[in-house]
Structure 1
Amino acid sequence: MYPEERQQAIAAQVISQGRASVAELAHSFDVTTETVRRDLAVLDRAGVLRRVHGGAVPTRALHLVEPSVDQREATRAADKDAIARAAAEFLPQSGSTVLVDAGTTTARLVGLLPPDRELLVVTNSVPIAARLAGLGSVSLQVLGGRVRGLTQACVGEHVVNTLAALRVDIAFVGANGITLRHGLSTPDPEEAAVKRAMVACANFVVVMADSTKIGREDFVSFAPIDAVDVLVTDAEISTADRAGFTGEGLEVVVAQ
């Protein structure tokens, strides 16, 4: 196979799968990892693919537009349910403070709160707040601000300033994209500012994100990898990505 033919085949595989690691491509095309990296460099310069740590993603993976809550709710629902169950193992004991970020994966966590556990829960999510309001064991604090219709999350200067004055035991945070180079990212600057403040005010940060978010780089980075403690994701995370994250000190929990 000529290099041009191999590069076309590599591009087709990455685009069809949504992402591919260097090791996976080297095995698929029976070439060295060095050859794959050179091919990816050519494809990156041509704008066909975007090189990321350990592999490549389609150029469309650099996202500026995000889907609505309704669209995301039905996407990878089983994986999100499993991630929520695994993340629930990190819920603290009674008397603790918990911060829950807006999102369809984090929203599943609140349905798993033990009914006998008394917690102060802080959230910027309208749907999550509505669900928690009727739980007698939860003392609820809503971060009020402008509500983004697309994500039903409260954003703005008031939310960020409120978070700056808080200190919570644990924060459960979502992300649209996760890479070593760009860290945790999201398309909207206002949501990024809120997420950044959430990470900063927590003693312990758990990121809840399915594996399709890994390798994606969205418009605004809100935290580097070493600013968070745990990533809870699904079993489709690649070996290379998991090794890269653990090498930076991030604990990776694979939900079953």
Structure 2
Amino acid sequence: MYAEERQQAIAGLVADRGRVAVTALAEEFGVTTETVRRDLAVLERAGMLRRVHGGAVPAGALTYVETALSERHGTRGEQKRKIAAAALDLLPGADGSLLLDGGSSTAALAELLPGDRRLFVATHSVPLAARLSTMPGVSLHVVGGRVRGLTQCAVGEQAISTLADLRVDVAFLGANGITADHGFSTPDEAEASVKRAMIRAGQRVVVLADSSKLGREHLVRFAAPADVDVLVTDADVDPALVVRLEDAGVEVVVA
């Protein structure tokens, strides 16, 4: 394989996986780590990726750009359904309590909540509240505040104050970016503040995120790996990233 062909292949892997490691690329293409680093330098100068410690991420991985909820619902639907199904094993028992963050993966979990189990569910998501209000067995608590149109979730001091008074069995959160170094991140500070309050309210913290979120870093970190008990993701995840997260103390469940 010529250098140009290898570099194009590497760029494709970064786009698909979100993050790649130098050592993994060297093994995959049968070249030295020094050769891979030279390839990454060429691709970075071309604006096709961004080098980070030990590997590379997409050029736009560190960003404040946020995707609207309606767009997220239309992507990776099958993976999110599998993640939600695996997350059912992490629900509390009858008369248990949980927090549901806004987002497409947590929405998939809401769709699968068992109708024969009494659960207290709190959420700051307007669409999730509307869905949960019709579900038998669910005692719904809506966290209020200023609603952001982009995510359709309540944020601000009112939401944070309400969450400060709650203590639930499990808090289920979403994330826009996840790395072992930067932790769990999102583009918006207001959303990050609510997520931090949710983490403080949960006896156990579970993040639901499809594999495209792993290896990406966004503007605002809302949790270090030590703050999260379990990450549920899909089978397309890079095994090297799983190992790094597990080494950082996060239990990773691959759906």
TM-score by length of 1: 0.90
Query: Any idea what the Cα deviations from partners look like across 1:102-133, whole Å, max 9, x if unmatched?
Result: 00110111121111211110001101100111
Amino acid at match of 2:188: D
Q: Which runs of 5+ in 2 are unaligned?
A: none
User: Structure 1: any 5+ residue segments left out of the alignment?
Assistant: none
For 2:249 and 2:7, how far apart are their aligned partners in 1?
Answer: 36
How is 1:139-178 mapped onto 2 (pairs within 5 angstroms)? Answer: 139-178=139-178
CA positional deviation for 1:46: 7.8
CA shift for structure 1 position 37: 4.4
1:17 alignment partner AA: D
Match of 2:116 in 1: 116
Q: Deviations over 1:180-225 (max 9, x none)?
A: 1211001111001101111121110110000000011111100001
For 1:104, the equivalent position in structure 2 comes to 104
Name the SS of the counterpart of 2:112 in structure 1: coil
Structure-1 residue corresponding to 2:225: 225
Work out whether residues 52 and 215 of structure 1, in 8 Å CA contact, stay in contact via their aligned partners in 2.
no
User: Cα distance, 1:167 vs. partner?
Assistant: 1.2
Q: Which residue of 1 aligns with 2:33?
A: 33
Question: What's the offset of the Cα at 1:40?
Answer: 3.9
Identity of aligned residues (%): 56
Go from structure 1 to structure 2 and tell me whether the alpha carbon gap of 1:61 and 1:115 turns closer, same or farther (over 3 Å shift).
Answer: same
Q: For 1:203, what is the secondary structure of its paired residue?
A: strand
Asked if 1:216 corresponds to 2:216, the answer is yes
What letter corresponds to residue 158 of structure 1 in structure 2? Q
Q: Any conservation in 2 of the 1:7–1:43 contact (CA below 8 Å)?
A: no
Decide whether aligned partners of structure 1 residues 117 and 9 sit closer, same or farther in structure 2, where only a CA change above 3 A counts.
Answer: same
- Separation (CA, whole Å) in 2 of partners of 1:112 and 1:101: 15
Q: 1:135: Cα distance to partner?
A: 2.2
Q: In the alignment, what sits opposite 1:85?
A: 85
TM-score norm. by structure 2 comes to 0.90
User: What are the within-5 Å matches in structure 2 for residues 173-212 of structure 1?
Assistant: 173-212=173-212
In structure 1, the partner of 2:16 is 17
Letter matched to residue 125 of structure 1: S
Give the Cα separation in 1 of the matches to 2:136 and 2:8: 57
Quote the Cα distance in structure 2 between the aligned partners of 1:88 and 1:53.
35
Which SS does the other structure have where 1:161 is aligned?
helix
Q: Deviations over 1:120-154 (max 9, x none)?
A: 10001101100111223111111001111111111
- Offset at residue 99 of structure 1 (A): 0.4
